[in-house]
Amino acid sequence: MITQRSSLLPLRANRVWRSYLGGRTLDRIAGESEPTDSNFPEDWIASLTLANNPLQNDPYEGVARVRGVDGELVLFTDLVESEPEFYLGKEHVARYGADMRILAKYLDSATRLHFQVHPTAAFSAKKLGVNIGKTEAYVILAIRDEIEIPYIYAGFQRPPSKDDLKRWIETQDIASLEACFDKIPVKVGDVFLIPGGCPHALGEGILMVELMEASDLVVRFEFERGGFVLPEESRFMGRGLDFCLNVFDLEPKAVEGFVCQPRVLREFCDGSTQKLLVGSDRTSCFEARSTRIENSVTKSENGFYILVVTDGNGSMEEGGQLCELKPFDRVFVAAEAGEVTFKTPDGLEFLELAGPAL
């Protein structure tokens, strides 16, 4: 049983409805007997964020649920708000309150996603009255066997004029919109950073971990994918196309600018290593690390993080609490956790997804 003072919180699946198809790989991870693609292609990990789904009926959709002190499922928001400094850290709470500031997801696409763009934090503060935007990072985990050339779109390499962009969106001239992009080939292990303001779309057949600012602010400028037509309220943040045209960064973007190059942060005595995937040199919004354990490592981190196992098997232990780990498991590690000991019989690799640096 998990108690409210647990530094390690194993996380259950938290599938969220989206307007595109996917999720077959997530079904398989969950042990479903007949994995299928559906409108639940995402799993929001340790989420404190509500999904913007006007057609759904769950008022808490998107927010993770964890085991409470009595063994019952409780909203992760309730748990964090009960002891925010324990879970998020004193400095973080002093600056942001009980707002984690990040949202992490498994995303499993069966089709290319809608063309979309998210506001920057500066635009949100000035025009939307909120102090958060939606910069995103992608860590590519797997490609479906049937996909020959997996890809993403990121930034306009050939940006249109604002007038052309408006006309093409109004008429849904998808061919002209798509011609503004170059396809960026992707492979397992690639890491990308997509700043707010950059139009983008994920190609089909990709499983990734997506780390972003904790908002669901989005301008979808393609209205139909997979036979589903987005309602008006799901297109332009409720503010109309003319307003949302100002969200777009219309400067030409080189595809190389979106690629993140990992660098070694720490080397441990057993040959284990920790790499920085996305750091403060690329964004102030969050940090992503990757750690490879070869045998046994005891380490601590500055602040909370979400652990996502990407390869191998092993365990983690802190304060007498032991969590067994296998591929695709996820665990929230509280800011007030002490040293965590990781052990593995034949190798263990995981992501560490953390909030903004303080």
- Strand 263-267, strand 184-185: pairing: unpaired
pLDDT in tens, 50-69: 887 766 678 888 999 997 66
pLDDT-derived band of residue 232, with 50, 70 and 90 as boundaries?
confident
List CB contacts of 104: < 8 A, sequence separation 6 or more: 44, 45, 46, 47, 209, 210, 211, 212, 306, 308, 353
Residue 231 has pLDDT above 90, yes or no: no
pLDDT-derived band of residue 296, with 50, 70 and 90 as boundaries?
very high
Residue 242 has pLDDT above 50, yes or no: yes
Average of pLDDT values for 157-186?
Answer: 98
Strand partners, 207: 108, 142
Please give the Cα distance from 263 to 266 (Å, whole number): 9
> Which pLDDT score is estimated for 2?
44
Please give the Cα distance from 306 to 326 (Å, whole number): 15
> Which pLDDT score is estimated for 345?
96
Residue 211: CA atoms inside 13 Å, Cβ hemisphere, count? 29
Average of pLDDT values for 139-145?
Answer: 97
List CB contacts of 155: < 8 A, sequence separation 6 or more: 181, 194, 198, 199, 200, 249, 252, 253, 255, 257, 258
Average of pLDDT values for 46-50?
Answer: 93
Structural domains in the chain, sorted by start: 8-258 (2.60.120.10), 263-354 (2.60.120.10)
- Strand 305-312, strand 330-333: pairing: antiparallel
pLDDT in tens, 256-286: 999 999 999 999 989 999 999 999 999 999 9
